[in-house]
Amino acid sequence: MNSKPTSVLIVDDTPENLEVLIDQLEKTGFNVSVVSNGEDALEFAKKNLPDIILLDVMMAGMDGFETCRRLKQLPAFLDIPIIFITALREQIDKITGFEVGGVDYITKPFQYEEVLVRLNTHLTHYHQKLELAQKNAALILANRTLKQEINRREQAEDALQTIDAQLSALSQQEAEHWGIAAFIGQSQTIKTILKDIRCLQAEKTSVLILGESGSGKELVARAIHFGGVRAKRPFIPVNCSAIPAELADSIFFGHMRGSFTGALNNHKGHFEVAQGGTLFLDEIGDMPLSLQVKLLRSLEDGQITPLGSNESKAVDVRIIAATNTDLQAKVAADEFRQDLYFRLATYIVTVPPLRERKKDIVLLAEHFLSRFALEMGQKKTVLTPAALAALENYHFSGNVRELKNMIEHALLRSGGKPIERDDLYFVDFKSPRPTSPQTQPVSAFEAFQSVDTVVKSDEAKIILYVRIHGSINNTQCRHLLASDFQRASYLLKKMNREGVLVREGERRWAKYRLP
C-alpha cells in the first residue's frame, strides 16, 4: 500500500520566486501547496492539515507572525512545525517568531540542501513526538488502573484495624444502596435475576456470575452480599486479571515478616481481610493455574497458610466469582481446573447483555441522567425522541457501563439542553483497523487522525495534551475539547479528585499537571 506523501504548505506573497524550490521539493517526493497570504493560509490549513509549513514573515495584510499565532490557537496545529522564511537583508525580531510558535528560520536565497535537512529534522521530531505521546497516554491510563487497584488494596488493609467499629455502624441506607433497590429495569430478565438474588441472600453457597463486560456482574455480587446475612462483614472485590502471578500468594493468603525480600511487616491477605464476609473474584477466568490449586484447597477445607508461616488459619469467607469468558471452554482447553469450576459454580447467575433487555435502556438512561445532573449541579434535562430511539437500537457492546459513560458525555456536551441524537457518542468496535501502522511513514494528517482514533475519551485527550505540553489550564482545555467553561472545569476538577491530575495555583491561574 502506498503511503500518503508528506505535505508541505508554503505561504509567500511572491510565489513566482519559489518555482525552483517547489520543483526540487516535488522531485524529492513532497506534496507541495502554495498560497500567497495569511488569510488563505488559515483557510487552506484548516481543510488540509499539512505536515509542515514554510511561512514568509514579511507579507502584506496579515504578516507571518500573526498567521502563526492564529494557527497555534487551533488544537490540531499545536505541534505542527512552522518554519519562517525571511530575506537575508530583512531586519526582524526572531524572538517574536519563537514566541508565537515557530520552530526555525530559513533565509532567501534558498540553499536547497539546507532547506531539505531542516524540513526532515523537524518532521522526524514531530512524528516521534506524536508516536511517543500515544504510547505514553496508553501507559498513563494503564498505570492509573493499577494505582486504583493498589490503593483499594491498601485501603482494605488499613481498614481492617477498625473494621468491627465501622461495620457495626453500617446504615440501612448503605445496605439498600447495594441491594435490590440498586437495580433499574422492568424486563423479565431483570426480574429473574432479582429472584436469584433474593434466593442467594439467605444462603452462603458459592456463586458464579456470567456476563459480558459492563453488564453489572459486580452489582449482582454486592446485592447478594449486602442484602444477606453477611451484610455487616466486609465485601472485598478482587480483579484477578490485575494481580501479578508472582505476588498472588501474598495478596490472597498474606505473608509473614521476612518471608521474602521486601517483606518488612506481616501482611493480611484478601481472605483474612474478608473474614466473615464475601470475597468477590472478578475475571476469575484469568486466574493462574498455580493459584487455582491453592484457592480450591482453601475453599474445601476453610484454611489458609500465609507465606513464611507453618501454621494454618481458619477462614469463613463466601466466594462469589464472575467472568466474561467461557469457563467451560477454558476447562476443555486445560486452562481452568474442572474441580474448581464445579466448586465455584454451585449456583450460576447469568447477566444478559443490555441489547437483550431493551425495555431497561430508557429507564437506565433516565437514572444516569438524573444522577449526573445532580453531580454536575445542573438541572435535569431530557432525551429527545430521536436520542431515545438511537439508544434503543444501539448494540451496546460495553453494556450498562457504556450507557453510563455515554449519558455522562452527552450531558456534558449538551450543556444542560435537551440531549439530541448527535450528543450521543457511539462506538463501532467492528470497524477494521490497520494492522501495521508503523510499516510506512504517515503524514501529519494521518498521524493526528490516528491519535484521535486511539484516544477517544475526553480525559485521555487531556492526559495526552499534558504529557506533551507539561500542564493544562481551563482555557487550553476548552480549546482542546472545543467545549465551554463549565465542561472543561468539571473534567479538570474530576480528574484532580481522582488523582489523575495535580492542581497548581488558584482560580484563573490554576493549571493541572500529571502526578
Neighbouring residues of 307: CB distance < 8 A, sequence distance ≥ 6: 249, 250, 253, 254, 255, 256, 259, 260, 263
Strands of the 31-35 sheet, one edge to the other: 31-35, 7-11, 52-56, 82-87, 104-108
Separation CA 268–CA 270 (nearest Å): 7
CA gap 232, 163 in Å, rounded: 10
- For strand 511-513 and strand 502-504, is the pairing parallel, antiparallel, or unpaired? antiparallel
Task: Give the pLDDT confidence score for residue 151 in this predicted structure.
Answer: 67
Q: Are 290 and 343 part of one and the same domain?
A: yes
Beta bridge partners of 419: 383
Whether 206 and 318 share a structural domain: yes
Highest mean pLDDT range out of 130-144, 182-196, 240-254, 391-405?
A: 391-405
How many folded domains does the chain comprise?
A: 4
Whether 255 and 368 share a structural domain? no
- The Cα–Cα gap between 441 and 447 comes to 9
Q: Which of these ranges, 243-252, 280-289, 361-370, has the smallest mean pLDDT?
A: 243-252
Per-residue pLDDT tens over the stretch 160-184:
434 333 333 333 444 444 455 567 7
pLDDT of amino acid 59: 87
H or E element at residue 388: helix 385-392
pLDDT digits (tens, 9 = 90+) for 26-42: 888 899 999 988 899 99
Q: Is residue 142 part of a domain?
A: no
The residues with which 107 forms a beta bridge, in sequence order, are 86
Which helix (H) or strand (E) is 235 found in, with range?
strand 235-239
Q: Are residues 294 and 186 in the same domain?
A: yes
- If one compares 199 and 469, the residue with the highest pLDDT of the two is 199
Q: Which cell numbers hold the place of 235?
A: 465485601
To the nearest whole number, what is the mean pLDDT of the chain? 81
**Same-domain status, 326 and 372:** no
pLDDT level of residue 211 (50, 70, 90 thresholds):
very high
Q: Are strands 303-304 and 313-314 parallel, antiparallel or unpaired?
A: antiparallel
Q: pLDDT at position 181, please? A: 58
Say what the pTM is.
0.52
What is the β-pairing status of strands 235-239 and 502-504? unpaired
Q: How many CA atoms lie within 13 A of 486 on its CB side?
A: 11
The helix (H) or strand (E) run that includes residue 349 is strand 347-350
* Residue of 140 and 376 predicted with greater confidence: 140
**pLDDT tier for residue 280 given thresholds of 50, 70 and 90:** very high
Task: State phi, psi for 108 to the nearest 5 degrees.
Answer: -90, 145
One domain for residues 65 and 192: no
Both 394 and 300 in a single domain?
A: no
- Are 329 and 209 in a shared domain? yes
CA angle 494, 499, 502 (to 5 degrees): 90
pLDDT at 397: 86
We report the CATH number of the domain holding residue 482 as 1.10.10.10
With respect to residue 152, please indicate whether it lies within any of the assigned structural domains: no
From the list 344, 355, 354, 343, the residue with the least C-alpha distance to 283 is 344
Q: What is the pLDDT of residue 77?
A: 87
Is 428 within a domain?
no
Q: Given this model, what pLDDT does residue 153 score? A: 63
**Amino acid (one-letter) located at 147:** K
Q: Are residues 389 and 334 in the same domain?
A: no
Question: How crowded is residue 64: how many other Cβ atoms within 10 Å of its Cβ?
Answer: 28
151 CB-contact burial (10 Å; exposed 0-12 / middle 13-18 / buried 19+): exposed
Which run of H or of E encompasses 84? strand 82-87
Give the tens place of pLDDT for each residue, 455-506: 347 887 888 788 777 889 888 888 888 777 778 888 888 888 888 888 888 7
For residue 356 the three cell numbers come to: 437483550
pLDDT of amino acid 175: 43
* Chosen domain end from 328, 352, 376: 352
Distance from C-alpha of 55 to C-alpha of 68, rounded to nearest angstrom? 8
Confidence of residue 53 (pLDDT cuts 50, 70, 90): very high
Among 288, 303, 304, CA closest to 337? 288
Question: Is pLDDT at 441 greater than 80 in this prediction?
Answer: no
What mean pLDDT comes out for the span 4-12?
A: 87
Tell me if 99 is assigned to some domain. Answer: yes
- Phi and psi at 416, nearest 5°, equal 95, -5
Could you tell me the CA-to-CA distances from 218 to 172, 239, 281 in Å, in that order?
Answer: 20, 11, 9
**390 contacts 352 by C-beta, under 8 angstroms:** no
Question: Taking Cα atoms as reference points, which of 348, 417, 443, 476 lies closest to residue 127?
Answer: 443
With H, G, I as helix, E, B as strand and everything else as coil, classify residue 32.
Answer: strand
Of the candidates 6, 1, 4, 3, the residue with the CA atom closest to the CA atom of residue 31 = 6
**Residue 392 is part of a domain; what is its CATH number?**
1.10.8.60
Is the model's pLDDT at 445 over the cut of 60? no
For the chain, give the percent of residues with pLDDT over 70. 86
Q: Average the pLDDT over each of 4-18, 213-227, 434-448 and give the range with the smallest value.
A: 434-448
Q: Are 32 and 22 in contact (CB under 8 A)?
A: yes
Judge if the upstream peptide bond of residue 109 is cis by omega within 30 degrees of 0: yes
Residue 18 within any structural domain of the chain: yes
Average pLDDT over every residue of 97-118: 87
352, 370, 386 - which closes a domain: 352
Assign residue 243 the CATH number of its domain.
Answer: 3.40.50.300
DSSP symbol at 212 = -
Mark whether 328 and 361 lie in a shared domain. Answer: no
Domain boundary among 318, 352, 386: 352
H-only helix segments in 92-184: 94-99, 112-159, 163-168, 172-177
Judge whether 164 lies within some domain. no
**Does any domain span residue 37?**
yes
Task: Give domain status of residue 509, yes or no.
Answer: yes
Domain that holds residue 210: 170-352
Residue type, 396: F
Helix (H, G, I), strand (E, B) or coil at 160: helix
In angstroms, the CA 55 to CA 83 distance is 6
Helix (H, G, I), strand (E, B) or coil at 282: strand
Cell digits of residue 245:
502471578
Statement to judge: residues 368 and 393 lie in one domain: yes
* CA distance linking residue 415 with residue 485, whole number of Å: 10
How big is the chain, counted in residues?
515
HSE value, Cβ hemisphere, 13 Å, CA-based, for 298: 25
Look at 101 and 248; give whichever has higher pLDDT. Answer: 101
d(CA 409, CA 425): 7
DSSP letter (8 states) at residue 437: T
pLDDT tens-digit series, residues 228-247: 888 889 999 888 887 777 77
Structure confidence at residue 508 (pLDDT): 67
Residue pointed to by grid coordinates 525580531? 93
Mean pLDDT of the region 209-224: 90
Q: Are 372 and 410 in contact (CB under 8 A)?
A: no
Residues 244 and 218 in one domain: yes
